[in-house]
Amino acid sequence: MVTATAPGKIILFGEHAVVYGQPALAVPVSQLRATATITASEDSDCWIEARNLSHRYRLTEARADDVLAATIERVRPLILERWIQQGRQPRLAPFVVTIDSTIPIASGLGSGAAVSTAMVRALMAYFDETPSEAEVSELVFESEKLLHGTPSGIDNTVIAYEQPVYFIKGQPPEPFTVAQPFHLLIADTGLPSPTKITVGDVRAAWQTEPARYDALFLTIGEIANTARAQIEHGEPEALGPLMKRNHTLLQKLSVSCAELDTLVEAALRAGALGAKLSGGGRGGNMLALVTPETQKRVQAALEQAGAKRVISTVIGE
């Protein structure tokens, strides 16, 4: 039996604009994890067991758009190719993949990419292979395309590399250093919102008004660049105003919603230095920048304003 895990993620700055070539910053969230366990099959078939969804099925019976099955189908040839190079028999014994995850689905926390990453890591390890981070990221990107349509690649990158990344689509990721750790609260609206839909809506809007949307994306990209510099210079409190500006721009892209705005306003009223939605938007999660002094008060305010779950995390610890 082999088990592997992968973290959730948050986008600090730059979601949506990153799909159009602008930079974005993302960090892994290790409190949230997806786990994949591989065991030998008791019959001649491969099986997938998604514990969260209470669903167990044969790989051969998976639907064409099944992301878990698609991940397996992409990992298998890579393992076989390596085995052939090593002069081993290219035949993999049937296995069972069991998935568990504490990352809420469709909530902007990278659940899909984390599950695929855990699967790739576990399958490769089960068959005695060690993939590079770039290989894992590339394989998971293929699954992300099934799930999200036209993803930028930021989710698979930050999760596979498991470190803070400055990301520009199509370029190698740049890990960045957090000179001074900072506290964030991650609050869940409880509204599931598939990224595929918000990304598709932004694309349709961009196609009707390209100049307006390009200008919004560019400003978001500038914010991401400034934020990276502040984080690397150890001035995290300066991120507060940048988060507020990024949220306003995301509202202009029409990817916020009443529930997210309510949580952002509640956090700011309670003393958060900044707040913004994170991920695809129209539901899912938001972030609030707090200090050890304001953390409790802001958390209570978020819960009172309707947050279904609040996670406290320290970036750069």
Quick check: 137 binds ligand MEV (CB under 6 A)? no
Q: Any catalytic annotation for residue 66?
A: no
Q: Residues 287, 12: contact at Cβ < 8 Å?
A: yes
Does residue number 284 form part of the binding site for ligand MEV (CB under 6 A)? no
The reply to whether 15 sits near ligand MEV by the rule CB under 6 A is yes
For the beta carbon of residue 60, count every other beta carbon within 10 angstroms: 9
Residue 256 binds ligand MEV, judged by CB under 6 A: no
Least distance in Å: CB of 243 to ligand MEV?
16
Residue 154 lies near ligand MEV (rule: CB under 6 A):
yes
Q: Which is nearer to ligand MEV, 26 or 270 (CB)?
A: 26
Taking only Cα atoms into account, the Rg of the chain, rounded to an integer number of angstroms, comes to 20
* Burial tier of 149 (Cβ tally within 10 Å: 0-12, 13-18, 19+): middle
Asked if 138 touches ligand MEV (CB under 6 A), the answer is no
| Binding of ligand MEV by 38 (CB under 6 A) | no
Neighbour tally for 210: CB within 10 Å? 11
Partners of 310 in beta bridges? 187
Q: Which H or E run contains 278?
A: strand 274-278
Q: Is 155 in the site for ligand MEV (CB under 6 A)?
A: yes
Question: Is 283 among the residues that bind ligand MEV (CB under 6 A)?
Answer: no
Number of residues near ligand MEV (by CB under 6 A)? 15
Is 247 a binder of ligand MEV (CB under 6 A)?
Answer: no
User: Does 16 help bind ligand MEV (rule: CB under 6 A)?
Assistant: yes
Burial grade of 133 (CB within 10 A; 0-12, 13-18, 19 or more): middle
Catalytic choice (43, 100, 155, 261): 155
Among 157, 280, 283, 285, binds ligand MEV (CB under 6 A): 280
Task: Give the x/- contact pattern for ligand MEV in 100-119, rule: CB under 6 A.
Answer: --------x-----------
Say how far apart CA 34 and CA 112 lie, in whole Å.
9
- Rounded to a whole number of angstroms, the minimum distance from the CB of residue 7 to ligand MEV is 14
Count Cβ atoms below 10 Å from residue 267 Cβ, excluding itself. 31
Measured CA to CA in angstroms, residue 117 lies from 12, 90, 99, 122, 123 at distances of 21, 23, 11, 8, 10
Q: 279, 286, 287, 290: which one contacts ligand MEV (CB under 6 A)? A: 279
Contacts with ligand MEV, residue ranges (CB under 6 A) = 11, 15-16, 18-19, 108, 148, 151-152, 154-155, 195, 199, 279-280
Catalytic residues: 155
